[in-house]
Amino acid sequence: MKYVDEYREPALARRLLDEIAACAARTGGTPQRPLQIMEVCGGHTHSIFRYGLKDLIPRTIEFVHGPGCPVCVLPMGRVDDSLTIARQPHVIFTTFGDAMRVPGSTGSLLSERAEGADVRMVYSPLDALQIARDNPDREVVFFALGFETTMPSTALTVLQAGRECIDNFSLFCNHITIVPTLKAILDSPGAGIDGFLGPGHVAMVIGAEPFEFIAARYARPLVITGFEPTDILEGLLMLLRQIETGTARVKNQYTRVVNPAGNTPALEAITRVFELREFFEWRGLGSIDHSGIRLRFDYARFDAERRFSVPGAPIADPKSCQCGEVLKGAIKPFECKVFGQACTPQTPLGALMVSSEGACSAYYLFARRDDQVQQVRA
């Protein structure tokens, strides 16, 4: 295949759906207790709803939305810390677009910009570095976000800043790692996940091996999957075949992008610049050991948390917000008490409604209006 429309080919999708239906009928799932398939990445969630895949698969299979949206799991306390930095008069605070609207306890980066803070949207950390070059008399801070997918570009930008001796550039580092998060979900009481659609873009960097513990320790299959409709359907079929035969392995559907060993230069850059934190707080999931990263001592001069005094206080989500339960797959977005009413993309209470990869946003924008969703939005 050469072109993206080949991954959306109706005849191929139909054949895959027929095979999925036949295989699902042999797995033992029922409408009352469907097989629980967690798509880890928010990009998968949006593709599932955008292309109507949820409505095409048998009712004996249920997609469960995972924690793979880095903006969605950013806790309120870290947002408040970013606001503290952005309010400094000599600071230019740079960030990806999704993060601008994530609510903290006193507002968002977007509202701070409306109040006069110099908050700018960028498309990469290199854009932020260029702003630092252009404004040598200002402190330029980049809001570093994302799983392993975006870590290499941040690490390479730090290395470039070091080579050029750019001293007015720093990171507010909120990069997180996917493996400890999946472990925390599997260790949660009552976790009933039968299989995982693994995050293709994260695996592009780290490869397949880091996910092996899911099969070896928890006896759950995982298939690393791409983001087009036929990618997701083929990945689901590969999972069902394992569930049918009682096997649990890590397999790679996304072979056109993912090398089983990962991207060696990217991993070397990450290892050179970053180290694991002892623990890191996740929105809705609490503190997870070794799930975040920070700059190594050799690059501490680029650490905004060392340059600026930030509160660093944990802030609880509003009691009405149930992002945590959604992130763990315990409830569907439409089961949240404020979904589609107090919490909408225009007036988000939780990060899952803000991000373009958030499960609540996907439900709101793309979900077929079944009776439950109609009732919530009424």
Half-sphere exposure of 367 (CA within 13 A, CB side): 22
**Whether the model pTM is above 0.85:** yes
Which residue intervals of the chain are DSSP H helices? Answer: 10-24, 42-50, 53-56, 76-86, 109-114, 125-134, 151-164, 178-187, 200-206, 212-218, 229-245, 264-273, 304-307, 323-327, 351-354, 359-366, 371-377
pLDDT for position 333: 86
> For the segment 118-149, what is each residue's pLDDT rounded down to a tens digit?
999 999 999 999 999 999 999 999 999 999 99
Give all domains of the chain, ordered by start, each with its CATH number.
4-66+188-252 (3.40.50.11750), 76-177+262-307 (3.40.50.11740), 323-377 (no CATH)
* Residue segments in the chain with a per-residue pLDDT below the cut of 50: 368-378
Q: What residues have CB less than 8 Å from 268, skipping those under 6 apart? A: none
pLDDT for position 3: 67
The whole-angstrom separation of Cα 90 and Cα 361 is: 35
- The answer to whether 65 and 196 are in contact (CB under 8 A) is no
pLDDT for position 185: 86
pLDDT for position 361: 82
